[in-house]
Structure 1
Amino acid sequence: MRPARLSAVTALAAVTVLTAVTGCTEKSDAKDGDGAVAVTAKDDSCEVSTKEFPAGHVRLDIENKGSKVTEVYLLFPDDRIVTERENIGPGTKARLTAEVKAGDYAVTCRPGMKGDGFRRPVKATGGTPAKRSPEMDKAVAGYREYARRQADETLPKAKAFTDAVRAGDLDAAKKAYAASRIGWERTEPVAESFGDIDPKVDLREDGVADLKPGEKWTGWHRLEKSLWKEGKLGAEDKTLADTLDKDLAVWVQKVGTAEITPTSMANGAKELLDEVATGKVTGEEERYSHTDLVDFKANVEGAQTSYELLKPVAAKNDPALVTELDKQFAALNTLLDRYRPNTSSYDFTSYDKVTTAQRKDLSDAVNALAEPLSKLAAAVVK
């Protein structure tokens, strides 16, 4: 997980105030000529080319004219995530394609990828749903089942971890830690879409400064620090284990209600590669346990599952893209296999043993896959 997530705010009720104090402005009342909604992200504003657009498939053409790396979200009024794009560098552009129903939404830009960002209210109008082929419906159903299965399989693995924590068994807890996170990492975009669960269970230490007054750092990474840095387990850790169990149980209950569309699957696959680029390759995600390659592999598996389910549709619309994605997924998986002696297990090399040059190779392979993967959503809705 990246350092901080959007905190819950009253989205549309505070539109007038937010517009006045954050610098969000509206450039015009129309889409661009090709039907896209233009989003211009700056250090002090988030400009949107229209406040209304037809429901169905909407494309956001994003340009970062600020001096900081930014990320852009399309949000439901309660801050659940419809879609997002991270790591948009200064002077660069990105494109997002999403399926939206009629209703109120907000576009948010977060310069520096920190804080609440700058918000702009938007509305999807009309009652025409996005058109889906039978292949698209099959892909959505397949992914929904995959997400449910990963959540269900995570609970017993997480309980093995938390039981060891409650027993004060350092060795057993360390052994169970990485395995307990695999299902979560495979489907993290689904968990993030709920807004409040992700920071409770997966917040890294560098995100603690962004917690609101009264909020506490909880979840896997807080326990990771106790196990590997502090080297001891106390009463507070046992309480943290109980809290983790409860929060993961809520996640499992909510998975079945997640908003899943072909475009959210495609964008989620790209988000998982962004997670690899910003947390796993750098070694920041598992800074104490150094189990980053386990998370890395799980992220890639989750992205590849989305892709494989959408592949029949994408192959009809953009066969060249499918050829490139097949090639890059194979290359990245082959590279990852160098760091585990048994390819049927998740016993990966400790990341602190991976050299700078090797990390560069991994980063290059991730980038080579991320670029064509960013085009998958558009290929699905052609």
Structure 2
Amino acid sequence: MWLQKFLAQLKHKGKLKKGREGVNERNPCRIYTVGDIGITIPGARAWDGGEIPPSAKLIFLAPQEEAGPGKIPPEAKVYIVGHGLAAWRLAVSKGLPAITPEKALALAGEITSQENSGDQAQPNFGSTRSTGKENKKGTIIVVYSSKTSVGKTSATANLGTMLAKEGKKVCLVDADPGGRTLTSLALGIATTGDIASPQKIPWGLDLVPSLPDSPALGITEAKNSIRKLAGDYDFILVDAPGRLELPLYTRAFLETAVETAGHIILMASCDHAAVAAVRAFVAGKMDELHIRPVTRLVVNQTQPLPPLKPQEVAKRVGLELTGIIPHDHLVDRMFAEGKPIPLMRLGRKGSAFLNALQELRTKGVC
């Protein structure tokens, strides 16, 4: 059960001060406090007498919650923690964000690390429910594959537009110094850009056009420029190049995504060449970059009748399958019209591509 594992991992990040042991999925927990700054994990169906400490900075609600806490500290950030539709439905009904246990642990780790270092500054929680007064840090989502033509640009453009339509401040980044597919789709021209100067595009969001691969730029300087960019947005979505050898900015984005409790969407298509290329990345650079915990495998069925099934792709690659994107003719229309699918006038059937992306979001990818 994810909750038991979650609490066990929190014990290593700080002292578990309140609550009870032996929790389960049906009766997750009362209130647990980690460290002196009061990270709390209120659970479901167990509010008898439990109160949230006024010092709480994070509140994690289990997806089975039927009754809420009586009073939530005004400075606390509240999240639904769980997988699947149960968490997503509760999040919608309560007007709260849903995140995975892994992302919750990353947020908890950020607070406890500040506590251990003696830093009393307010922590960054990403962008969810931002008031605009705190010093926010946008979530970085990198869409990557070590193979070309697997749907990275389609996923990046459509996911970013979906978030922008919900009122999020979004910046797309074309990190491919050679291909420039996202740049051409958004601007109609192939050009290079500067990470310090995003451009407004008609989709209701911003774009950093194709970033040049500058050997003179150091990895530390690249990461600093990424952190500065992330401070201006709720989400940064990166369309990475399809190759195993990583350009400087791609490597920097992959490593920085971990800092922002973001994710790497590792794309593969259902053909043997793509599987071999992605497997090489998983077997080598993924652990070298320490990004395995935030990497999610998504299989894109770019053909109506692919040679491999998505489950077989996941088995060969060696990662758990997070999502499947079915073949959708609207992707071709998107490139023909230069317009993401969420901005099109769709028929009654909608878009299988968009439905798959929405399912990814219910799993906490963003």
TM-score, normalised with respect to structure 1 = 0.29
Give the TM-score of the pair, scaled to structure 2: 0.30
